[in-house]
Amino acid sequence: MPAATEPVLPPLFEQPQVSLAALRQTGLPLEETTYLAVGGGIGSFTWVDHLLIHGVDPTQVVAIGFEARPYARCRRLCHNSQIPDHERLRSDSGGTPDNIWGWPGYAVREMGHDLKQGRLLHAARLAWQISGEPVLAEPFTPKAAQVFAALDREARRIGWPDIWRFGRVRAIRQTDDGRYVVIYSPTKALKRRPKLMVTRYLHLALGYPRLRFLPDLQTYRQQTGDVKRFVNAYERHDHVYECLRDHGGTVLLRGRGIVASRVIQRLNEEYAHNPNIRILHLMRTPRPAGPRYKLTRRCTKNHFDHQPYNFPKSCFGGDFRFTMEQADDRQRAKLIDLWGGATTAKRGPWERIIEAGLQEGWYQIRFGRVTRVEPTNGNLTVVLRGYSAWREETNLQADFIIDATGLDPQPERNPLLQDLLQTYRLPKNRKQQINVTNDFEIAGLRNGDGRVYAGGIMTLGGPFAPVDSFTGLQYAAQQSLASLITLGAPGVRRLGPVRSVLQWLRWVAGVSP
């Protein structure tokens, strides 16, 4: 819990509410703003973009984060999990964090680019894709580079470099005048004097607290000190593929989500160079059929659950979005487990790799739970316990283990959230995240006129299922803006049809809001 243990945090911050006079007496540099976004990633960017387009004066908005580019962490995680810039993300064409309206989507923009380059056939293929997806064609997904370039453009348009500043936020407290104070380290060297920022409206979008390091991975690393052979798929692990290309070997892969599919694709690329590569895909249980919801059932193939995005499309704006919003805490958690979970997109090339691998024997599936991982003669032995009634123990030999079971969403893993949870005894929902209202407000932090809103994975279990998608970040921002409009927050104006169209035209022209 670094926020509480680091020596320079003033004792004043041990209380849940602090007075402005006491803050001034600390002698720490103190600034005031009206809107403050903490996180500095795509969630913060989306909220700030909404604020400015709704009329807020940019000088009244500050964003604090680690990296100047809002997509920096997202891009790093993509690269590590084998989605380089030229590859496609798993995101809808209309999930446009650079454009609050969702139109034109990335497919239309790519078509426009194709037409300019004279690539008529490709443009026609994209048109077919977005018209028929996901039934008659594979869903369109944008290239990572396209999204990042669009975010760069929007960042320039709204003046993000003037809004963003480097900072590591260490604690947040309510002030005695109905606002919030944020204490942050303005440089990477934590020993430098922290600064204070007082704000009326605060937005938190901190992303996943950390990578998910399963207990067996932690034990293995603690015992051996080896961080090369047993890796998390979101860590940088290119050495695994380079070594396999040179020497061949067996990879044990865990997880069956989209990252597992990408890792298999990358391994298949290496297999083309070295046919001595083998993939052992470890799954905890077989998956003969997908879950049921009313009259429907999710498709499965080769023990993978298929759906275009991490939740059914209707969760992004159709019936299921309403269902989630109207559901209680228990139902929301149930629906998230049912609709979400580890799923991958149904893509022809991936299916062909799996089919070929199964047929030729270089890709095999095993079921069971890992009991332990041991180093043996330069490689690894994975001891498995059979699933269900099988009481067998199996030893699998592998050269590398890639764990693609995901990221860790637990708020306690983030020191700032842990501190907030403890200080304000914030209630959590059944997905173990901090409770938010349908406006994405953390009601437990309400302070007079002051409000705290949230976005991203820390709102899982709330009113919207795919919160950690681009569309989810936009939805959360839009909901919080609706709340700010109701409150009469300074500068925020309703975006009715006329103002919305005018603002959109400014977006098209690349002119600041």
Partner 1 sequence: MIPTLLGRWQTRLFLLGTAGVLLTFGFGFLFRDFATPFALLGYVLLFGFGWDIGYNALQSLRWDRDWPPLFFVGGGLLEALLLWGLVKAQVLWATLGLAGLPGVAPGLTLAQFAAHYGTVFIVTLLLMLGPMKVIFLKWRFRGGQLF
CA separation for the pair 280, 362 (Å, rounded): 8
Nearer to partner 1, 108 or 149 (CB): 108
The crossing angle, in degrees rounded to 10, of helices 120-132 and 106-117 is 160
Minimum distance of partner 1 from residue 492's CB (angstroms):
13
- SS3 (DSSP) at 57: coil
Nearer to partner 1, 199 or 343 (CB): 343
Q: Could you tell me which residues come within 8 angstroms of residue 104 by beta carbon, excluding any fewer than 6 positions away? A: 112
Minimum distance of partner 1 from residue 290's CB (angstroms):
8
Output the six-digit token pair for 36.
Answer: 């403050």
Nearer to partner 1, 249 or 463 (CB): 463
Nearer to partner 1, 188 or 294 (CB): 294
Tell me how far the alpha carbon of residue 30 is from its chain's centroid: 32
Minimum distance of partner 1 from residue 128's CB (angstroms):
9
Q: What angle do CA 224, 401, 75 make, to 5 degrees?
A: 105
Minimum distance of partner 1 from residue 441's CB (angstroms):
17
Minimum distance of partner 1 from residue 331's CB (angstroms):
17
Minimum distance of partner 1 from residue 83's CB (angstroms):
23
138-155: string of b/e by CB count within 10 Å (b at 16+)?
ebbbbbbebbbebbeebb
The tokens 């709340």 sit on which residue? Answer: 483
CA separation for the pair 12, 9 (Å, rounded): 8
Handedness of CA 435, 439, 440, 443 (dihedral sign): negative
H-type helices in 300-455, by residue range?
319-326, 329-339, 348-360, 415-424
Nearer to partner 1, 55 or 317 (CB): 317
Nearer to partner 1, 104 or 341 (CB): 104
Minimum distance of partner 1 from residue 339's CB (angstroms):
9
- SS3 (DSSP) at 476: helix
Output the six-digit token pair for 341.
Answer: 């979970």
Minimum distance of partner 1 from residue 459's CB (angstroms):
15
Nearer to partner 1, 246 or 319 (CB): 319
Minimum distance of partner 1 from residue 224's CB (angstroms):
44
Nearer to partner 1, 296 or 359 (CB): 296
Minimum distance of partner 1 from residue 328's CB (angstroms):
21
Nearer to partner 1, 97 or 411 (CB): 97
Q: Where are the beta strands (DSSP E) in 418-460?
A: 451-454
CA separation for the pair 54, 485 (Å, rounded): 9
By the 8 A CB rule, do 58 and 159 touch? yes
Query: Max CA-CA distance within the chain?
Result: 73
CA separation for the pair 274, 161 (Å, rounded): 46
The tokens 């300074």 sit on which residue? Answer: 490
Q: Hey, what amino acid is at 117?
A: Q
Residues at the contact surface with partner 1, assessed by CB under 8 A: 94, 100-104, 108, 130-136, 290, 293-299, 307-308, 312-314, 316-322, 475, 478, 495, 497, 500-501, 504
Output the six-digit token pair for 163.
Answer: 């809004």
By the 8 A CB rule, do 255 and 403 touch? yes
Nearer to partner 1, 10 or 102 (CB): 102
